[in-house]
């Protein structure tokens, strides 16, 4: 997401000819988009995206369990 945001900012600066970015070559301005594509391809290929989704789902599940136990008056387990 960082590369995408940087690419949009650089693209706007180049298009509106603001600051030193106006003098840069187009391939320098568009390179953050290529880096974003490379990052997303690697994240999907390596399983990073799936791991983050599973971690988020497990955290939501544990929070739901802790909330239910607290409502029942049962102490929650402490994680080591």
29 and 53 co-located in one domain: no
Which structural domain range is residue 37 located in?
1-46
39 and 2 co-located in one domain: yes
Contact 35, 3 (CB under 8 A): yes
53 and 30 co-located in one domain: no
Two tokens at 31? 């390179």
What mean pLDDT, rounded, does the chain reach? 93
27 and 63 co-located in one domain: no
Confidence category of residue 76, pLDDT binned at 50, 70, 90:
low
Reply yes or no on whether the pLDDT at 79 is more than 70: no
The per-residue pLDDT for 80 is 59
- Residue in the structure block whose two tokens are 């650089």: 10
40 and 53 co-located in one domain: no
30 and 8 co-located in one domain: yes
57 and 42 co-located in one domain: no
54 and 37 co-located in one domain: no
Report how many domains make up the chain: 2
- Largest interatomic CA distance in the chain: 66
């Amino acid at each position: 997401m960082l590369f995408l945001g940087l690419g949009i900012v650089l693209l706007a600066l180049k298009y509106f000819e603001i600051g030193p970015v106006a003098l840069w070559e187009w391939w320098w301005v568009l390179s953050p988009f290529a880096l974003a594509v490379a990052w997303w391809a690697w994240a999907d290929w390596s399983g990073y995206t799936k791991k983050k989704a599973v971690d988020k789902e497990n955290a939501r599940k544990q929070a739901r369990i802790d909330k239910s136990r607290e409502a029942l008056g049962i102490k929650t387990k402490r994680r080591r």
